[in-house]
Amino acid sequence: MESASVLVVDDEPGIALLCHRVLTRAGYEVQSETNPRAAVEILGQRRFDLLLVDIRMPEVDGFDVIYRAKRAQPDIAVLVMTGFGTVETAIRALRQGVDGLLLKPFEKGDELVAAVAQALADNRRKRETARAQALRPLFDATERLFSETDMDKLHPLIVDTICEHLQCPNAAFYQAEADDFALIAKRGSVLPLERNSFAADLLRRVASDGKPILVNATGPGEKDAQALLADLKLGAAILIPIARSGWSAVLFAARDAGAATFRGTDLELFHILARQSLVALENARLYADLRAYVRKVEESQQALLRSEKMAAAGRLTASIAHEVNNPLQSVQNCLHLAGREDLPAEKRKEYFELARSELERLMKTMHRMLDFYRPGSVKMEKVDVLELLKHVLSLTSQQLSQRHIEVITDLPESLPPVFAVSSQIQQIFINLILNAFDVMPGGGALMVRAKALENGVEIQFEDTGPGIPEGLRNNIFEPFFSTKEGGTGLGLTVSYNIVTAHGGTLDIVKGNGDGACFRLFLPKGDVS
């Protein structure tokens, strides 16, 4: 570890030499000076860890040396030596931030070494405490900035944070746009943005150079910038650029005329706030991108749901078309026969009754189709799953029977209601039943089983088709993956996504035979 450096200041050459020798032997890097004025100049040129200074000196008071040392090196540790150890001296030393008091004469060198070590340790603790106290508000500010993901709210929050931590009433956020700047957020008096003005040129210069500018209205500095501050009745201002790929901005902070000017520590603090603001802005941008992506996914999901629903409805319509045509032909024939003049009244009544029966069957078929086509509510509500399942089985019964597919059901008298979107659950049932229909072109059986569980309901659809090869089971819920020729590969994907959104599961399980068996679980949810 590097040894600490010590500056010894005492107008008595003997004391200065003694301190130099003792501390050098103890491993410190020591420089001694008997002229207080020369010591002050040295402090302005070289950094020291500790100042060991005598209080009573003829030309310059020791406390004056301490004051000047603290201005040049605020973190320097101070140990005073005095032969006049009064209470007043101790109080004054404490007020000036002195870290230790050593009475002269000290008989042993060990006493001096111990006092120096203690003063350095105390100063280190004070600096660490002060640093922690200074950082805590910054941590709070960082937390506030990072927690805000709405860009419209983040810009004024950055401005407010600048005003709070730099203790200034004026701040602004300027964003570069082409060759110009836009004032995004402000507080108090800020730089005007008239085209071709010096203020606009100043903002462009800071943004292009990538370097901050600190301007005080008085003292050395750029005259045009000082004149601008005077016109705005500002006493000091700092401009700091922030930038990322393809984007740049300038943060502005200013104090009113007559207030304390900005110092180097203020500039460093502003640097930290600017970096944290840039990270917070990037964080908000990423959140905005994520929200936009989620919206696109949701829109795509809804489009996928509608597309698959219409595809399933089209398959149903093709197979039910003749089912609609048959009763229409029967009605036509019955009405034709009933219109014959030679027909007895009883026979005519029989034909009319048969026509009415066929029309009722046709109306029921059309109602079932309309229920499927009609856009359902996407609002969660209490749903009787058993009734919905029976409705879908009735809707598809004619199509299944024409392919010689026997439907075997094992259903309880009732099932607990679930909290779901009715039309979407109906779509799952349609997809699973039609999936079984497609894999059994030569006929077979479809077993539909349902039962209540402690936390929901379970429904199984098991067919007697060829089944799904073991190597493909992990892929069947992926989009556009299909084992059927001409299949869209969307039915099971849509069903899986609907079930997942409802907090349920859709799995392939081992059935009683070699065919595919899908297990659908829907949680009870909030059905109060």
Our measurement of the distance from residue 322's CA atom to the centroid of its chain's CA atoms, rounded to an integer in Å, reads: 56
Exposed, middle or buried: residue 522 (CB in 10 Å: 0-12, 13-18, 19+)?
buried
Which strands, in side-by-side order, build the sheet including 5-9? 29-33, 5-9, 50-54, 77-82, 100-103
Give the position of tokens 């093709």.
318
Q: Rounded to two decimals, what is the model's pTM?
A: 0.45
In 188-263, DSSP assigns E strands to 213-216, 234-244, 247-256
* DSSP secondary structure of 409-443: EE--S----EEE-HHHHHHHHHHHHHHHHHH-TT-
Backbone angles phi, psi at 234, to 5 degrees: -115, 145
Confidence at residue 94, expressed as pLDDT on a 0 to 100 scale: 67
CATH T-level fold of 5-132: Rossmann fold (3.40.50)
65-to-228, 338, 517 alpha-carbon distances in Å: 38, 127, 91
Domains 5-132 and 151-288 share a fold: no
Q: Are 232 and 189 in contact (CB under 8 A)?
A: yes
Give the position of tokens 């679980």.
521
Q: What is the CA radius of gyration of the chain?
A: 43
Quick one: the chain helix, strand, coil %, rounded to 5?
A: 50, 20, 30
Give the position of tokens 């010591």.
39
Q: Are 427 and 315 in contact (CB under 8 A)?
A: no
**Architecture of the structural domain at 151-288:** 2-Layer Sandwich (3.30)
Round to whole Å and give the CA distance between 65 and 39. Answer: 8
Round to whole Å and give the CA distance between 65 and 69. Answer: 6
Could you list the pLDDT tens digit for every one of the 528 residues in the chain? Answer: 458 999 999 988 988 899 999 999 999 999 999 888 888 888 888 889 999 988 877 777 788 888 888 887 878 889 888 876 555 666 676 677 788 888 877 767 788 899 899 989 988 888 777 666 666 777 777 788 888 888 889 999 999 999 988 889 999 999 988 778 889 999 999 998 876 688 888 888 888 888 898 888 877 678 888 888 888 999 999 999 998 878 899 999 999 988 888 877 788 888 888 999 999 999 888 888 888 888 888 888 777 767 766 666 665 565 556 557 667 777 787 787 778 778 788 878 887 888 887 787 677 666 655 654 555 556 788 999 999 999 888 878 878 888 999 999 999 999 999 999 888 888 889 889 988 898 898 999 999 999 999 899 999 999 999 888 877 767 677 655 455 554 445 567 778 888 888 899 999 888 888 899 999 999 986 655
Which residues make Cβ contacts (< 8 Å) with residue 153, sequence separation at least 6? none
Domain locations along the chain: 5-132, 151-288, 377-528
Round to whole Å and give the CA distance between 250 and 256. Answer: 20
Alpha helices by DSSP H, 73-197: 87-95, 109-147, 151-166
**How are beta strands 405-410 and 444-453 bridged, if at all?**
parallel
First-to-final CA distance of the chain: 70
Q: Are 396 and 434 in contact (CB under 8 A)?
A: yes
Round to whole Å and give the CA distance between 411 and 295. Answer: 39
Confidence at residue 323, expressed as pLDDT on a 0 to 100 scale: 55
Alpha helices by DSSP H, 11-108: 13-25, 36-45, 62-72, 87-95
Query: CATH homologous superfamily of domain 377-528?
Result: Histidine kinase-like ATPase, C-terminal domain (3.30.565.10)
How is residue 338 annotated by DSSP?
Answer: H
Confidence at residue 486, expressed as pLDDT on a 0 to 100 scale: 47
